[in-house]
Structure 1
Amino acid sequence: MAFTRATGKHRRASRTARTTRKFAGIATLAASGVVASVASPALAATGETHAEDTGLRQAVVMGDELASRVEAQADAQQTAAEAAAVQARAAAVAKKAADEAQRLAEAAKKKAEAKAKEEREAKERAARDAERKRLNAFVAPIAGSYVSTGYKASSGLWSSGSHTGIDFHAATGTSVHTVGSGTVVEAGWGGSYGNNIVIKMHDGTYTQYGHLSSIGVSVGQTVTPGQQIGLSGATGNVTGPHLHFEARTGPDYGSDIDPIAYLRAHGVGV
């Protein structure tokens, strides 16, 4: 007669059950991230399940390896982060230095531009002052000449009985210059003065140049000190070539003033 063993709570679990529970424990570790599936290769290699190959010890070993890998990866990430932080700080320092260099360069450029502008304005002022002085300067009407007949000299040669101007020694064709800046108000025949030019000066006085052989300016023309306006000659009432020069308070005959005093008052040595 066959006997059947009754099952109870003290009965040892079968090998299949034990193995199943062990697999379940490993699977739980794998699901929690501690170990991946490690039993399958051993089973495939031996064809049977061994507790020593698929148990907790192997799972722990694999878990340690995984932890080491995770730690190494974390160290690598931390090293990379630190390197990136160092690079970021270096880039910030370089940018700050570049910005400062640019600021200094712009400041130097502005300073140089301001200095150049100041120098340019100073040169322009100097040029204007020089031109103003030139325009206000006076020169002799004949360069290197001398007075051959003085002012108010008496003679029957003049209708008024005295000389209304001064005569500068000059051969025919000698260059005649305006003594200062002004505007031509007369240029042509002047009776006993022959070919003559009358200029209204900038200071409101008038100057006359007579007995010219030729005239080089026209009425309304502006002239500057030392500018050639004609050539000396012997036209009109003369005994020989020379330049008759008068200083006047008005454009017409009879308003004459002492031409030597006039020229000397304007810095011309005669």
Structure 2
Amino acid sequence: MAFIRATGKHRRTSRPVKTGRNIAGIATLAAGGVVASVASPALAATDEARPHDTGLQQAVVLGDETASRVEAQADAQQADAEIAAARAKAEAVAKKQADEAKRRAEAAKKKAKAAHEAKVRAARDAERKRLNAFVAPISDSYVSTSYKASSGLWSSGSHTGIDFHAASGTSVHAVGSGTVVEAGWGGSYGNNIVIKMNDGTYTQYGHLSSLGVSVGQQVTPGQQIGLSGATGNVTGPHLHFEARTGADYGSDIDPVSYLRGHGVNV
């Protein structure tokens, strides 16, 4: 005899099936990060004790904690990214400023170097110009006796140089750059100085009361070499000045043309 079990709306689903379904739902909610407190319809329709409610609440709490940790981790990563971006920006700005400062420093250095070189060139040119310049042997004076003037006062019968008016003790200057080749007594010239000029010509300064240079000394334009006087064959104090092509007597040339040819107004 077979027994047939009645079916209908009062039949309940077995407990294991409901449990598995509820757990699956909870897992789905937790995996999706959704926080909820929802009971299954089957559980809501009965008044029996529901031991599986505790499991649902635990799963929901775990989901909250996971979401909080994920959110905190995301916030931390975002903060790290922002800090890294700010640091990179600051480093880029600092590098740009350093590069600009370096560029300005190099430009200033080049400018200073160029200015220094220009100053050195200007000083060198000025010194070269000064050394190549010529001046009158007596400042603020005039020619009192001309070149080739005739008189019995000179053994050759004519004046081999020019005389500059000068009281005794007046400063006498080298007319240009050169080397002293004679400094001492010169017979009728009295105390005299002969200078070999840098251009190869010679200049002579006679009748000096005192000498201020010695043989072998280098002199420059305008340098004082002695004082005018009346030593030797003279009638009064003055400076006798000669220009020569050589060191010896008789190689004289026109001193006025010589000085004017070097830019000296006499």
Q: TM-score range by the shorter chain?
A: 0.7 to 0.9
Matches within 5 A, 1:84-123: 84-123=80-119
Matches within 5 A, 1:145-164: 145-164=141-160
Matches within 5 A, 1:47-62: 55-62=51-58
Out of 51, 72, 75, which is 2:71 matched to?
A: 75
Q: Verify: 1:189 aligned to 2:185, yes or no.
A: yes
1:28-87 deviation line (CA, Å, top 9, x unaligned): xxxxxxxxxxxxxxxxxxxxxxx969x432132122112211211110111111111011
2:198 partner amino acid:
H
Matches within 5 A, 1:1-80: 55-80=51-76
Q: Verify: 1:208 aligned to 2:204, yes or no.
A: yes
- Distance of 2:54 and 2:229 partners within structure 1: 135
Local SS of the residue matching 2:128: helix
Q: Which runs of 5+ in 2 are unaligned?
A: 1-18, 20-47
* CA deviation after TM superposition for structure 1 residue 111, in Å: 1.0
- Distance of 1:264 and 1:77 partners within structure 2: 98
Local SS of the residue matching 1:143: coil
Local SS of the residue matching 1:67: helix
- Distance of 1:60 and 1:244 partners within structure 2: 133
Out of 138, 143, 150, which is 1:142 matched to?
A: 138
1:147-177 deviation line (CA, Å, top 9, x unaligned): 0000000111111111000000001100000
2:22 aligned partner: none
- Distance of 1:60 and 1:220 partners within structure 2: 120
Task: Work out the number of aligned pairs and report it.
Answer: 224
Out of 225, 228, 233, which is 1:232 matched to?
A: 228
Q: Classify 1:217/1:52 alpha carbon distance in 2 versus 1 (closer, same or farther; 3 Å).
A: farther
2:166 aligned partner: 170
Local SS of the residue matching 2:151: coil
Local SS of the residue matching 2:164: strand
1:9 aligned partner: none
2:114 partner amino acid:
E
1:129 aligned partner: 125
Q: Classify 1:166/1:56 alpha carbon distance in 2 versus 1 (closer, same or farther; 3 Å).
A: same
Aligned residues: CA RMSD: 2.0
- Percent identity, aligned pairs only, is 69
Q: Which runs of 5+ in 1 are unaligned?
A: 1-21, 23-50
- Distance of 1:88 and 1:156 partners within structure 2: 108
1:204-238 deviation line (CA, Å, top 9, x unaligned): 11100000000001111111100000000011111
- Distance of 1:264 and 1:248 partners within structure 2: 15
- Distance of 1:215 and 1:63 partners within structure 2: 122
Matches within 5 A, 1:216-227: 216-227=212-223
2:30 aligned partner: none
